[in-house]
C-alpha cells in the first residue's frame, strides 16, 4: 500500500464515507481512553510523572551528542556493533549488507515504526529475503499489503469479520471471526518462521546510554522470540530514543503502557545488552544497533520544534484526537499519524509534501493534555502553519482571502461596506435563509450575518458603570 501526505484531502474524503472504519476506530480509541483515565484516577502523582518524564527527555535532547557517544561506547564494550545511518537509504544499505554477509534467507521482525519509516520490508523482499512481521497486528496488515493505521495497534481500523475473511483468503483456513481461533491460526504460521529465521529485526522503545542496552516493551512475546532465536539480531533505533540511565526508565515504563493501551504495565519488558551466544551458549551470535538520523538532527537544531523529539510513540495523542477518531491513520498518508504525525510529516518529508498535514487538526488541545511527556503539540501545529503561510505553501484561496482582508483593513470605508453588505443582501433570500455554503450546509446551518453590523451594534450596547464592573470582579473572585 503506497500512500503519500500529498493526497491527504482525498484520503480524508474516502475515510469519512467509510462508516465501518469510523466505527472501528472510534470504538478502539474510546476504549483505550477510558482505560487510561481509570489508571490516572488511581495515581495521584500522575502529573508528577509527566513532569519528570518531560524533564528527562528535555535533558537528553539538550545533550544528545554526548549521550549518543556514551551509548555507542557502552554498546561496543558489550559486543554490539553500532552503525550510524544518516537517512533511510543508508539504513537500508547497512541492514542489507549485514544480511548479505551472513547469507540471510529469512527474516522475522517485531513491530517497529522506525523500520516502517525507512520502508525496510520492501527492500528486503526485493532482494529475495523472506521477511515476515510477527506482531499479530503487523502480520495482519502485511497480509493486506497495508501500512499501520495506528502507532501501537496497527490493525485498529479492521473488524473481526474483515480479519476472518483475510485469513480464509490468504491462509486457506475455514472462516472464523473468533479472536482466539484467529490467534491460534496466526500463531501456527508464525512459530515455524521463528524457528527457521536467520535474522531478527526489532525496534527499540528506549536505549539506555549508561549501560549500552536497549529496552523493548511488548505484550505478545514476539519481540522476545525475534531477538533471541535467530543467530543475528539487528535493532533499528531513532537517535532520539535514548534515556540517560536505568533510574530514568521506571517513569516511562509507568507512562507508556497506560497511554498506549490503557494497561497498568506491559506484559513483557525486554532488556538486551549484547549477543549472548558466546556467554550462555544460546541467543544471537551477532547483535547490531542501527542509529537512524533521517532528519532528526535537523529538528534538533530548531528550538521551536525540538520538543517533538520527546515523543515516545505511545499514541495517546491519537486516541484523544477527534479528527483521528473520524478518519483513522491511513488518511494522514505516512507511518506517523494523528497530532504527532502532522507535526512530524512536514519536518521529515519537507513542507511541499506535508503542507496539508498541520491543517488536519481542530486545535481542541486534547493532545496536549494527553501527551505523557507534555509536548505542546497545538503550539507546534500553529508554528508549522505559520511557517507554511510565510513560505507561500498555503492554498491559493486562503492567500487570496487574506490579501483581500488586508486590503480592506487598510481602507476603513470599504471595510465597513464589506461587513455591512452581507447582512443586507441576506435579507433578500427567501424564507430568511442563510447563505448557501456547499459542503458545510449539507449537515449543519450556517449562522446568519447580523443585519445591523458590528459597529452599530457596539455603539448601542450599554456599557456597565464602574461600580458594576467592581461588583462583577468581586463576584468572580469569590467563585
Residue 435: the pLDDT is 80
Residue 439: the pLDDT is 73
For residues 375 and 393, what is the distance between their CA atoms, to the nearest angstrom? 25
Instruction: Give the whole-number percent of the chain exceeding pLDDT 70.
Output: 96
Residue 328: the pLDDT is 96
> Which letter, b or e, does each residue of 45-67 get, where b requires 16 or more Cβ atoms within 10 Å of its Cβ?
ebeebbebbbebbbebbeebeeb
Residue 445: the pLDDT is 77
Residue 471: the pLDDT is 62
CB 257 within 8 Å of CB 264: yes
Nearest partner of 359 among 335, 386, 336, judged by Cα = 386
Residue 140: the pLDDT is 95
Nearest partner of 43 among 337, 328, 264, judged by Cα = 264
Residue 461: the pLDDT is 76
Cell of 31: 476504549
β-pairing, 199-202 vs 106-109, is parallel
Residue 470: the pLDDT is 59
Residue 466: the pLDDT is 61
Residue numbers in the chain where pLDDT is lower than 70: 462-479
What's CA 344's distance to the chain center, in Å? 8
Residue 468: the pLDDT is 62
pTM of the model: 0.86
Residue 431: the pLDDT is 75
For residues 302 and 347, what is the distance between their CA atoms, to the nearest angstrom? 10
Count of H-run helices and E-run strands, the chain? 23, 10
Amino acid at each position: 500500500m503506497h500512500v503519500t501526505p500529498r493526497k491527504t484531502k482525498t484520503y480524508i474524503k474516502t475515510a469519512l464515507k467509510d462508516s465501518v472504519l469510523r466505527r472501528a476506530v472510534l470504538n478502539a480509541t474510546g476504549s483505550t481512553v477510558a482505560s487510561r483515565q481509570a489508571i490516572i484516577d488511581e495515581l495521584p502523582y500522575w502529573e508528577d510523572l509527566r513532569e519528570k518524564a518531560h524533564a528527562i527527555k528535555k535533558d537528553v535532547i539538550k545533550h544528545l551528542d554526548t549521550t549518543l557517544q556514551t551509548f555507542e561506547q557502552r554498546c561496543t564494550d558489550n559486543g554490539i556493533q553500532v552503525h550510524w545511518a544518516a537517512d533511510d537509504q543508508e539504513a537500508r544499505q547497512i541492514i542489507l549488507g549485514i544480511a548479505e554477509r551472513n547469507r540471510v534467507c529469512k527474516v522475522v521482525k517485531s513491530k517497529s515504526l522506525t523500520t516502517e519509516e525507512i520502508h525496510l520490508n520492501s527492500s528486503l523482499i526485493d532482494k529475495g529475503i523472506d521477511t515476515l512481521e510477527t506482531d499479530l497486528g503487523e502480520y495482519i496488515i502485511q497480509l493486506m499489503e497495508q501500512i499501520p493505521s495506528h502507532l501501537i495497534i496497527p490493525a485498529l481500523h479492521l473488524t473481526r469479520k474483515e480479519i476472518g475473511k483475510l485469513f480464509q483468503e490468504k491462509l486457506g483456513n475455514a472462516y472464523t471471526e473468533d479472536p482466539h481461533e484467529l490467534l491460534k491460526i496466526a500463531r501456527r504460521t508464525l512459530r515455524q518462521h521463528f524457528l527457521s529465521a536467520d535474522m531478527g529485526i526489532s525496534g527499540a522503545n528506549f536505549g539506555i546510554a549508561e549501560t549500552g542496552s536497549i529496552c523493548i516493551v511488548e505484550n505478545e512475546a514476539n519481540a522476545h522470540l525475534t531477538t533471541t532465536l535467530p543467530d543475528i539480531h539487528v535493532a533499528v533505533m531513532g537517535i532520539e530514543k535514548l534515556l540517560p540511565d536505568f533510574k530514568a526508565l521506571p517513569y516511562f515504563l509507568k507512562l507508556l503502557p497506560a497511554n498506549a493501551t490503557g494497561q497498568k504495565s506491559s506484559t513483557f519488558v525486554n532488556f538486551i545488552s549484547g549477543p549472548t551466544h558466546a556467554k550462555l551458549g544460546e541467543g544471537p551470535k551477532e547483535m547490531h544497533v542501527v542509529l537512524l538520523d533521517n532528519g532528526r538532527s535537523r529538528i534538533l537544531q530548531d528550538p521551536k520544534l525540538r520538543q517533538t523529539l520527546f515523543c515516545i510513540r505511545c499514541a495517546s495523542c491519537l486516541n484523544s484526537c477527534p479528527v483521528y477518531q473520524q478518519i483513522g491513520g491511513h488518511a494522514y498518508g505516512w507511518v506517523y499519524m494523528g497530532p504527532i504525525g502532522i507535526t512530524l510529516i512536514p519536518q521529515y518529508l519537507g513542507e511541499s509534501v506535508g503542507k496539508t498535514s498541520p491543517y488536519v487538526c481542530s486545535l481542541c488541545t486534547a493532545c496536549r493534555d494527553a501527551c505523557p511527556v507534555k509536548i505542546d503539540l497545538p503550539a507546534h501545529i500553529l508554528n508549522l502553519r505559520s511557517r507554511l503561510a510565510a513560505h507561500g505553501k498555503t492554498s491559493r484561496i486562503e492567500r487570496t482571502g487574506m490579501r483581500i482582508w488586508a486590503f480592506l483593513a487598510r481602507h476603513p470605508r470599504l471595510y465597513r461596506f464589506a461587513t455591512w453588505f452581507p447582512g443586507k443582501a441576506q435579507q433578500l433570500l427567501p424564507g430568511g435563509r442563510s447563505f448557501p455554503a456547499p459542503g458545510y450546509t449539507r449537515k449543519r446551518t450556517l449562522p446568519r450575518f447580523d443585519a445591523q453590523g458590528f459597529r452599530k451594534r457596539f455603539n448601542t450596547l450599554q456599557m456597565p458603570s464602574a461600580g458594576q464592573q467592581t461588583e462583577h470582579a468581586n463576584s468572580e473572585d469569590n467563585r
